[in-house]
Amino acid sequence: MTDSQQNNYCLNLIEVNKKQPVITTQDIFNQQGVLLLSEGATLDEKRSQILLQHKLIKPLEQCVGIANSLDAHQLFEYLNKFAKNLPGLYAVTNNESYQKTLRLVCLFYEKYPLLKQNLTVMALRAKHIYFQGIFSALAGVAIAKKLNLSLPDIQATFIAGLFHDVGFLYLAPELREKSHGFSAHEWKALQAHPLITQRFMTMVPGLPKEISLAIIDHHERIDGTGYPRQLFGDKISIVSQIIAATDNIIFNHSRYQDYGVHAHSMLLAALKLSDNIYFESVYDAATVLFKEAPAPTENLLELPSVEELLNRQQKLRQQFTHARSLSQQLFSLPQTPIIRSISAVMGRLAISVVRSGILQPEQEEWLSNLRNRSPQEQDNNEGWSLIEISVMQDQIHDQLVHLKNLMERAVENISHEQTAFSQCTALLHQIDLQDTALVQ
């Protein structure tokens, strides 16, 4: 860990201590061997400031404990409480076989005090990340069971799901709480979180190494377009692919949760546009679980604005055109791994654009005709079609963001003396995704 990363975690512990005592479990020395804090001291703000001024012999996490850390029983109870609030998730967790497995993996978690400490910090200091971890753990176990994985693999899936984003505790709070408008520098910092998480997991005595490998690879994709290592399918574990799928699902759930019982159907629609970036077995298991959820019995209460969908469709079409122009320019350069990744993402984006219909005049004509009718004149099938278009537009936006990030890295690698650098830079500046993130 870098000094700044350790300091960020220390600052989180200072805040945790205001709610639950953080106590040193051993003497803490700096790298010169000077005693900074004795065993049994409370990590209050004054004492923490002393630690922030020094490099320590041992990582701070290994030298402290938190009173009333989340134990196996508390975690088991909370997991079930969380699932009850999500009908689709509850449908696959509310059975004897799943509950038995959930008890076993919670007991496995309790074997590692350092995990209990970090999960408690997440719960108190980064609730959004904590909720994402809870969802990934629950859904990940369901997918692993559907795939008939062994108990050790299910345990690895559970722990990797809970902790896959714990690296955000080591980043500046303003960065982990930001949701859009990231600069290229900020994206690089964010994309380091799997590496940070892996370094933390290697601190946990006796933890199977498969768990940290699954975590570092949970943003990898089978076509080599992920990060941080740009691995291809044959180098990625099935556990990391399960966490990748659950991470995608919970990200989209946060988008659609206001649609209540219909959110589950929207998540399935979003997942269908990701069928070629995960292992086929993981994708199939995830979609089967979605289909086990009860069908909504309520009508859609609020629909996307037809006018806003038309405006967003036109903006996405324009940005896709800009991205295609830049990709063609980049393809003329020597083929490097990053260029090959851009080619794969561009190909996937083109397929999604065709599936979504945003290039088809017929869809725009249909939306234009629908715009002239009142919501009361629209039937439920037309309403659901609007929802599906909105979901597809979200997915195209996400793919454009991923593609632009890859393109920025490719342009950075071009020599500034080359004519191609100025041409590609000008094309890159044309890709502006601020107005395509949400329906405006």
CA distances from 192 to 55, 171, 236 (A): 22, 9, 18
Distance, CA of 193 to CA of 5 (rounded, Å):
11
74 Cβ contact partners less than 8 Å away, ≥ 6 residues apart: none
Q: What is the mean pLDDT of residues 100-128?
A: 95
Residue 143 contacts residue 161 (beta carbons within 8 Å):
no
- N-to-C CA span, the chain: 40
Going by pLDDT thresholds of 50, 70 and 90, the confidence category of residue 25 is very high
Q: What is the mean pLDDT of residues 241-266?
A: 83
Helix (H, G, I), strand (E, B) or coil at 64: strand
Distance, CA of 228 to CA of 168 (rounded, Å):
15
Residues 158-213 pLDDT 10s: 999 999 999 989 988 877 776 666 676 777 777 888 889 988 999 999 999 999 99
Query: Which phi and psi angles does 23 have, rounded to 5°?
Result: -115, 140
Distance, CA of 107 to CA of 384 (rounded, Å):
43
Highest mean pLDDT among 55-64, 187-196, 250-259: 55-64
Residue with token string 């590609």: 424
Give the helix ranges, DSSP H, for 332-418: 337-356, 361-371, 380-412
> Taking 60 as the threshold, does the pLDDT of residue 339 lie above it?
yes
Residue 206: CA atoms inside 13 Å, Cβ hemisphere, count?
8
Highest mean pLDDT among 193-202, 323-332, 428-437: 323-332
Percent of the chain exceeding pLDDT 90 equals: 45
Residues 208-247 pLDDT 10s: 999 999 999 998 888 888 888 888 878 899 999 999 999 8
- Sign of the CA dihedral 144, 162, 217, 212? negative
The pLDDT assigned to 341 comes to 86
Residue 431 contacts residue 326 (beta carbons within 8 Å):
yes
Going by pLDDT thresholds of 50, 70 and 90, the confidence category of residue 440 is very low
Residue 9: CA atoms inside 13 Å, Cβ hemisphere, count?
23
Distance, CA of 308 to CA of 389 (rounded, Å):
11
Query: Which phi and psi angles does 6 have, rounded to 5°?
Result: -65, -40
331 Cβ contact partners less than 8 Å away, ≥ 6 residues apart: 339, 342, 343
Going by pLDDT thresholds of 50, 70 and 90, the confidence category of residue 329 is very high
Run of H or E including 75: helix 72-84
- Between 27-41, 130-144, 256-270, the lowest mean confidence (pLDDT) is in 256-270
Distance, CA of 181 to CA of 318 (rounded, Å):
19
Residue 6: Cβ within 10 Å count: 18
Distance, CA of 316 to CA of 400 (rounded, Å):
9
Percent of the chain exceeding pLDDT 70 equals: 93
> Taking 80 as the threshold, does the pLDDT of residue 261 lie above it?
no
Q: Both tokens of residue 260? A: 């209540």
Q: What is the mean pLDDT of residues 55-81?
A: 94
Residue 376: Cβ within 10 Å count: 5
The pLDDT assigned to 132 comes to 93
Q: Both tokens of residue 164? A: 């896959």
CA distances from 351 to 152, 355, 395 (A): 37, 6, 12
Q: For residue 116, give the nearest of 167, 60, 65, 171 by alpha carbon.
A: 65
The pLDDT assigned to 439 comes to 46
> Taking 70 as the threshold, does the pLDDT of residue 120 lie above it?
yes
Q: What is the mean pLDDT of residues 412-417?
A: 87
Residue 316 contacts residue 174 (beta carbons within 8 Å):
no
Residues 340-395 pLDDT 10s: 889 988 998 998 888 888 878 888 888 888 887 766 566 667 878 888 888 889 98
Q: For residue 164, give the nearest of 201, 203, 112, 189 by alpha carbon.
A: 201
The pLDDT assigned to 300 comes to 64
> Taking 90 as the threshold, does the pLDDT of residue 288 lie above it?
no
345 Cβ contact partners less than 8 Å away, ≥ 6 residues apart: 223, 225, 399, 402, 403, 406
Query: 32: burial class by Cβ within 10 Å (0-12, 13-18, 19+)?
Result: exposed
Q: What is the mean pLDDT of residues 261-265?
A: 74
The pLDDT assigned to 379 comes to 66
